[in-house]
Structure 1
Amino acid sequence: MTTDDKTGVQPLLARPRDILAMATSSDPWSPAVTAAIALAARWASNLTSCYIEPSLRQVGGADLEPSALGLLLQPRGDDGGERAAFASHAHRLGVREAVWTVTHAGLAPTLRRLGAWHDLAVLERDMVEGAHLFDILGEAMLTSRIPCLLLPPGRDDEQLLLDRVAIGWNGGIEAVRAIHSALPFLQAAKEVLLIDGTPPGADDAEEKVPRFDPLNYLLRHNVMVRSRQIQVPPHLAGATLLKEAQGMHANLLVVGAYSHSRLRERVLGGATRHMLLHAEIPVLMQH
């Protein structure tokens, strides 16, 4: 930790106090659980792991009542053995408080409810089948508004090295929220690159509102960052961001999700949709 030269005071580092993992298995522990344990141990965070069974992962509709869902499905009950095993496993790896629970509702309502008292959710991108990925996972992020760390398929890394971070910046409020939520990752990173794709004249519509400067904001929070400006058509934004992140060998990409309406995202393809489908590194998204 560095010290401010003018005041001699050590800067406070950001950290999420409560982390949520959406678990897809307990034997072995699924990648989201493994990653969330690593983060909770690193930041001395409380950890909740919520198991969601395969049938419930495919259920859409943020307002579907659990009682109605129960008529269609018979999700497994809470298992005291799993709770004890998870707590023991997490404590052994350095997590102070760890709780295992089971949801009886779909992903979107679960994430919306649990997200109300958690600071970060960790999910496996392939927990939802490809045909439903955009609708169900996208709906969950859109309605919960909690920052979500999405792990690519095949990711199962106990160390979860996320020290080279690319940030996708387009001037939108979603990108501002994503940068703010990503501070714990950014402050710990060895290299941070801001990929600036702000459209010309993007500030004109909000000229009466104080402007958010991402570079100044990050420097105020002790994040050394460099910037690279790009100009691409909107339909190429997602692919370009992933290419730029790959070029710097990033192991984390930070982006705002759904900068446009859901309908426009669906019609245009959208950067959010492209990254949900194609990112090969963890992506921190927030609406």
Structure 2
Amino acid sequence: MSLKDLLAYLPNPKAAPAILDAAISLARRHGAHLTALHVYSMEWPLMAAMDGYVSSATWRMILDEAERSAKEQADQIRAKFEEAARREGIQAEWRLVEGTPDAVLAQHARYADMVILGRSDGAGLDADLAEAVLFAAGRPVLLLPPTPPRDFGARRILVGWNDRREAARAVGDALPLIRAAEAVQVLSVFGEEAEQTACRVQAEDVARHLARHGATVSAATSMTGDGLRVEDVLLNTASDLGADLLVIGGYGHGRVREMVLGGVTRSLLHGATIPVLLSH
């Protein structure tokens, strides 16, 4: 497998430049085609127009103004995208679609190798969108932090391994990135001393598998405790390694359980400080 068809979701003009910088860097590094998708919704204008009695002329005026404003914003994003793609000399395509972002994005992600999303410092709606796409699209999601690294290339990668199906899927989806990386570490995190040997064997087995694909890879284990959760260990290790990408399987314990009790995936979706590639 190779990365040849990337999809970047550009929600607004403010977020677009940082997402584009990372997406274009990745596309250039892998010789990939990059599609930029912007979704606008007429749902709120329709609800506003139907909230109480309004004349047909007023109803039409509300919708026309909302559509004009949405397309004006889309034009701003498209201009940024096309100028950046032209400057970097990559193959690129623009898509503008009306609908709800989660449904539209999941649909378009199904025929891409990877979907790239940005996370803002806001109320978590971006993380919720990433979660929805992760479950609905069947494709890996690359979630960027609010301030993504410039010239993102996934040169140093940390793989969080927990011996679950989702982790195996994530490693397979990330294989083109792993093969091209300068250094990769497979990390298995355990909670009790009795688990260390099994975790070490698993991490070494995964590392050998990746080495057979040409990766420059090592294996390690680490223990939780002293107030450190699994997600803390992953991010601390990534920082120590200078990793610019974390690869994990998403929602190995189930979505509802993590929503109620908290979990690694949900914590990283809302608070990771480096790009995270997730598969489910």
Unaligned 5+ segments in structure 2 are 49-65, 199-203
Calculate the TM-score normalised by the size of structure 2.
0.77
State the Cα deviation string for residues 84-118 of structure 1 (Å, max 9, x = none).
7634531330212x111223223321221001110
Alignment correspondent of 2:166: 174
Alignment correspondent of 2:25: 38
- Secondary structure, in 3 states, of the residue corresponding to 1:214? helix
Calculate the TM-score normalised by the size of structure 1.
0.76
Deviation at 1:21, TM superposition (A): 0.6
Deviation at 1:272, TM superposition (A): 0.6
Unaligned 5+ segments in structure 1 are 1-13, 57-65, 205-211
Higher percent of residues as helix: 2
Alignment correspondent of 2:36: 49
Which of 101, 104, 107 matches 1:107? 101
- Cα distance change, pair 107–141 in 1 and its aligned pair in 2 (3 A): farther
- Cα distance change, pair 257–195 in 1 and its aligned pair in 2 (3 A): same
Q: Is the aligned partner of 1:92 residue 2:84?
A: no
Mark the structure with the bigger radius of gyration.
2
Counterpart CA distance in 2 for 1:85 and 1:124 is 16
Which of 199, 212, 232 matches 1:220? 212
Alignment correspondent of 1:209: none
| Matched-pair identity in % | 31
Counterpart CA distance in 2 for 1:101 and 1:180 is 28
Counterpart CA distance in 1 for 2:78 and 2:98 is 16
Q: Give the aligned CA root-mean-square deviation in angstroms.
A: 3.2
Q: Would you say the 8 A contact 1:23–1:32 is kept in 2?
A: yes
Counterpart CA distance in 2 for 1:108 and 1:279 is 21
- Secondary structure, in 3 states, of the residue corresponding to 1:240? helix
Task: Extract structure 1 runs of 4+ deviating beyond 4 A.
Answer: 26-29, 78-85, 198-201
Q: Is the aligned partner of 1:77 residue 2:64?
A: no
Which of 99, 113, 125 matches 1:119? 113
Which of 251, 262, 267 matches 2:260? 267
Alignment correspondent of 1:5: none
Counterpart CA distance in 1 for 2:260 and 2:173 is 28
- Cα distance change, pair 214–72 in 1 and its aligned pair in 2 (3 A): farther
Alignment correspondent of 1:253: 246
- Secondary structure, in 3 states, of the residue corresponding to 1:230? strand
State the Cα deviation string for residues 232-263 of structure 1 (Å, max 9, x = none).
37x92112211221222211111111112111
Q: Would you say the 8 A contact 2:37–2:96 is kept in 1?
A: yes
